[in-house]
Amino acid sequence: MIYLSKELWFPPVSEASAEGLLALGGDLSSERLQLAYASGIFPWYEENQPILWWSPDPRMVLFPEKFKVSKSLQKLLKKQAFQISFNQAFEAVINQCATVQRPGQQGTWITSKMIAAYMNLHQIGVAKSVEVWQEGILVGGLYGIDLPHQKVFCGESMFAKVSNASKVGFYHWVTHLKNTGYRMVDCQVYTQHLASLGAEEIPRDMFMSYLGL
């Protein structure tokens, strides 16, 4: 296992374990986080753990043109039951992602230090959010890291307080990304929910090629 110091670097992703764990330690500075995402690496750990850095193989991604719009989602979009905004309530979104109850999950990996780190990234325009509103109340949203030069958006987390709210927000964000020439949404690891929306697993080498690596 590779232990990171204050030096700003990461080992090659080919050195990751079979589960995708690459290194531990280091810090959550804006510089290190930007280097991580641009290198196909992301942090994921719990409160009582050191910072863990991952680069799984295969990688779960969504190509915007492959987003699946189900009939139920089509009906919901026509109803215009939600209002969508971008980058208007980043702090509220990340805090909701950290606190919302999820089936089978006891705690959260979005620690107070993680929130502070991603707030810093948001302030310099690197971390982006999508907000879903209903009658003026925030009922869903998502956030992630923008890699505009690579035309890749790295999704981090989403939440919904009303059924399908996050799905509607994700649809609008993917549509925005497609319309602005983005090639991929990095979804990191497989979930059935993401697969139902059209996300798929690809080899890590292919994913890295989209990052220009």
Q: Which residues contact 87 (CB under 8 A, 6 or more apart)?
A: 122, 128, 129
Is 47 in the same domain as 134? no
**Last residue of some domain: 17, 35, 57?**
57
Residue 142's pLDDT is what?
98
Is 89 in the same domain as 17? no
What is the arithmetic mean of pLDDT over 9-26?
A: 98
pLDDT digits 0-9 by tens, 64-116: 999 999 999 999 999 999 999 999 999 999 999 999 765 544 446 799 999 99
pLDDT digits 0-9 by tens, 183-207: 999 999 999 999 999 999 999 999 9
> Tokens 């992602």 appear where?
97
Structure tokens at 144: 């992630």
pLDDT of residue 17 exceeding 60: yes
Candidates 186, 179, 169; CA nearest to 97 is 169
pTM here is: 0.95
